[in-house]
Amino acid sequence: MTLPASIRKAWWNAALAIVYPEVCQICRAERATVAEGYVCATCWRQVRFIRPPFCERCGLPFEGELTTTFECTNCREMELHFRSARSAVAAGGMVLEIIHRYKYQRALWFEPFLADLLIREAAPVLRGAAWDWIVPVPLHPAKQREREFNQAERLARHLAAATNIPVHARLLKRVEPTLTQTRLTRPERAANVRRAFALQTVGLDLPGARIIVLDDVFTTGATTSACARALKQAGAAEVCVWTVARGL
């Protein structure tokens, strides 16, 4: 018998509370609960939410004042297949540390914190906008087995619960075991993932579909653009991107 999600979550939180005391897992100086993702109010104040002005295409924030819309150099130099990309917060300092610990060290107790950042910014924009699916960026099967979870899919399910937009986690697949993007240049990133994604079902038609591609971090947009390319080739009418954090 499968237990309801609310009961599984309560058991998970209770288990975490036994193993980890209610103390911030960043500064270890102040109280923080499971529901807060073990991030205290003081550390929370380090979060930098992304606010206008920013690039209309990729959401890169711009320091200063602008009276007209603009497109950044990165977008002008790359062939991007999504309509727009937005991120909740800047990827730096504490936020980047949390994402790395969450992804690579299985620090799953940070998930409520990351999901909260995403929902605060994305949900008000996406609710009622007639999007068909949230599609998380897939991992290659070998990477999924190694990591044991896909952080994009887990975060997508939190956003889906907040917006009532369904997750379609099996629409895309990663067909090439690409190199990690972190140490590659902008052109190398684009080349690395150009043909890395395909639809799970060959010949699937997505006429008129409006799709949100979701990932944890946006840097140059190479990965999410490659996903958008596969979706647009299958007939999707519009693809936008949302991520928790934006590399600067």
pLDDT score of 190: 65
| Sequence-distant (≥ 6) Cβ neighbours of residue 165 within 8 angstroms | 126, 131, 132, 133, 134, 159, 212
Confirm if 133 and 206 have CB atoms less than 8 A apart: no
230 inside domain:
yes
Helices 111-126 and 151-163 cross at an angle (nearest 10°) of 50
Q: What's the structural domain count of the chain? A: 1
The 10s digit of each residue's pLDDT in 31-65 is 999 889 999 999 999 999 999 899 999 999 988 77
67 inside domain:
no
pLDDT score of 34: 86
159 inside domain:
yes
Q: How far apart are CA 108 and CA 102, in angstroms?
A: 6
- In a 10 Å sphere around its CB, with 0-12 CB exposed, 13-18 middle and 19+ buried, how is residue 149 labelled? middle
Angle at 152 between CA 159 and CA 187, to 5 degrees: 125
pLDDT score of 205: 81
pLDDT along the chain (248 residues), means of 10: 60 59 92 92 96 92 77 87 97 95 94 97 94 96 92 98 96 80 63 81 85 96 94 96 95
Domain, as residue range, for 198: 82-246
* CATH at residue 104: 3.40.50
Residue with tokens 């209309």: 56
89 inside domain:
yes
58 inside domain:
no
pLDDT score of 193: 74
| Helical H segments across the chain, by residue range | 5-19, 41-44, 73-77, 93-104, 111-126, 141-147, 151-163, 186-193, 222-233
- Radius of gyration in angstroms for the set of CA atoms belonging to the chain, rounded to a whole number: 18
49 inside domain:
no
Strands 172-174 vs 197-199: parallel, antiparallel or unpaired: antiparallel
46 inside domain:
no
52 inside domain:
no
